[in-house]
Structures are given as structure tokens and as C-alpha cells.
Structure 1
């Protein structure tokens, strides 16, 4: 029963990722694309977690942590780039 529900949730997460990819391609503005990238990151984390449960292993937990960190940093960098046009600020007094 639980395996069936987890399999259905994998299909739904895959559908959500596909819809987010369409939003990245057709998105009317850059903030829409950034949010779609964040959605893909969150759904990939959930998908890896479900696969880890289905396979009854803890091997993928490190991948979940790394993907979460990279997704967060990527979202911050894109939003800062949209807001200011520059990601890393340099001091001019040096």
C-alpha cells in the first residue's frame, strides 16, 4: 500500500518538474524562471527522498543535503542578479 502511494507521488513530482521546465522555457519574466528553478530543486529533493525510502537505503541523504544547499545558493544568486545586476560586489578602495 505504502509503496503504491510512494510510486504515485513520484509520478506527481515528475509531472510537477515537467511543468516547471515548461515555465522556465516559456516564462514571461526572469523572476518566473527563478521560481521555477527553485520548484525543480525542491521537487528533486523530495523525489530523491522518496527513492531513498523505496530502496530502503540512507545512501542518498548526502545528495539531498548537497542539492538543497546548491538550490538555495542558486536561488539567492539569481534573485540578487535580477535585483542588482551584479552577484559579487567588490570594494573600490582596494
Structure 2
């Protein structure tokens, strides 16, 4: 059962590279923010896999939820800031 979580974690890590590319080379600022948000979501899933591997899922769920809320609020705040300032379409 642990090998399934290991392979899943490796696969999620490889998918994070795609999000990292979108974050680094996105054509607009909002594309970069969406790439960062996707990386944060995948990081939350990796935290949950880590909790399952250590057998302490109850503790890691709290950490993952706090991280997800922080990620969501920060991306919303950044996107609102860039839209209000008119910097959303610039590189």
C-alpha cells in the first residue's frame, strides 16, 4: 500500500513541474498566479500523502487545510491587487 502512495507522490511531483513552467513562463500575470495556485494545491496533496506515509493523517489534514486556506486567500488577494492596478495583462 505504501508503494501506491510513493508512486502517486512522484507523479504529483512531476505534475508540479508543469505548474512550475506555467508559473515561470506564463504569458500574463494571471497565468502565473494560476500556476502558483495549482502548485499550492498539489503541495497540499503531497502533505496528505506524507501524513498517510507516517500514519498521522489526522495531524497532517489540519496542516494541509491551513495551507490550502492560506494559498487560496493569497492568490485571491494577489489577483485582486493586479486587476485593480491594471498590471494583469503586463509581463
Compare relative contact order (CA 8 Å, sep 6+) and give the higher one, 1 or 2: 2
Write the mapping of 1:49-88 to structure 2, written as runs, cut at 5 A: 49-57=48-56, 58-85=58-85
TM-score with structure 2 length normalisation? 0.83
* Structure 1: 4+ residue segments shifted above 3 A: none
Q: TM-score scaled by structure 1?
A: 0.81
Unaligned runs of 5+ in 2: 87-91
Q: Does 1:4 align with 2:3?
A: yes
Q: Aligned residue pairs: how many? A: 85
Instruction: Report Cα offsets for 1:48-68 as digits up to 9, x if no partner.
Output: 001101110133222212201
* Structure 1: gaps spanning 5 or more residues: 87-94
CA distance in 2, matches of 1:72, 1:25: 19
Q: Which has the larger radius of gyration?
A: 1
What root-mean-square deviation, in Å, do the aligned CA atoms of Structure 1 and Structure 2 show? Answer: 1.5
